[in-house]
Amino acid sequence: MKLKKSKEKYFKEAIEEYKNKYSKSVDYYKKFKLIRVKIKEELNRI
């Protein structure tokens, strides 16, 4: 029973860590996409 509890705790922590990393990478992707759109707009203006 104790082992099961510790496993659950481990998985919860791992999932939280994964969520944090994933949300960060999504933020980076969105920022990168915004930057690309801005660059395209600038190039179209020229």
Model confidence over 23-37: pLDDT tens digits? 888 888 888 999 999
Q: DSSP label at 19? A: H
Instruction: Write down the pLDDT at residue 37.
Output: 92
Name the residue range of residue 21's domain: 1-46
pTM for the model: 0.45
Number of domains in the chain: 1
> Mean pLDDT of all residues in the chain?
85
How many residues are there in the chain?
46
- Tell me the average pLDDT across 3-24: 85
Q: How far is CA 40 from the centre of its chain?
A: 25
The pLDDT of residue 18 is 86
Give the integer Cα–Cα distance in Å for 16 and 34.
27
- Opening angle at CA 18, ends 16 and 10, nearest 5: 55
